[in-house]
Amino acid sequence: MSARPDDFRTAVAALPAGVAVVTTTWRRTVWAMTVSSVASVSLDPPLLLFCVHADARLRDALDEADTWTVSVLGADQAPVADWLASAGRPAVDQLTRVPHHAPDVAAGIRVDGAAAWFECRTSAIHAAGDHDVVVGEVLVAERAGPEVGGLVHVEGRLRGLR
């Protein structure tokens, strides 16, 4: 017997989660989405995971693109998170309003002003209910200064922390 989805959604809203943007490049287009399900998996080897809805456009891209970039959003980047989480945004040119630059080795982009960046190569994708868990080997990890802070999702709201 499982918890009812509405009960689960209400309870899990109390769990604070860091907010990040995951990107990759597929068919000459950069695909991006906001996630609040990024976690460190291992230090040796360095592994990171994120969860993506099985029907998401980014998930389709991950079937062919083997590298991706995670930008951990800074305290002032709620508008970026909101835009890249909005349903119906265009796939093409969705990043024209988001300042960004090229990653060092992986596909996608790095969001300017983020608190940290990870460039990863997919090592496994596991089905998990209506989402997939994507595990990647971290190829590049970089941290901005601590003054950038971080963005957290809790109780259905985005909150900047410094």
81 three-class SS: helix
The predicted-structure confidence for 29-51, as pLDDT tens digits, reads as follows: 999 999 999 999 999 999 999 99
pLDDT for residue 134: 98
Does the pLDDT value for residue 88 go beyond 90?
Answer: no
The predicted-structure confidence for 101-159, as pLDDT tens digits, reads as follows: 999 999 999 999 999 999 999 999 999 999 999 999 999 999 999 999 999 999 999 99
Phi, psi at 78, each rounded to 5°? -55, -40
Q: How confident is the model at residue 11 (pLDDT cuts 50, 70, 90)?
A: very high
pLDDT for residue 91: 81
Domains in the chain with CATH codes:
35-145 (2.30.110.10)
Strands annotated E in 8-147: 17-18, 20-26, 29-35, 39-43, 46-53, 67-72, 100-101, 110-111, 116-128, 131-143
Query: Residue 64 class from Cβ within 10 Å (0-12 exposed, 13-18 middle, 19+ buried)?
Result: exposed
> Taking the model in full, what pTM does it have?
0.95
Q: How confident is the model at residue 93 (pLDDT cuts 50, 70, 90)?
A: confident
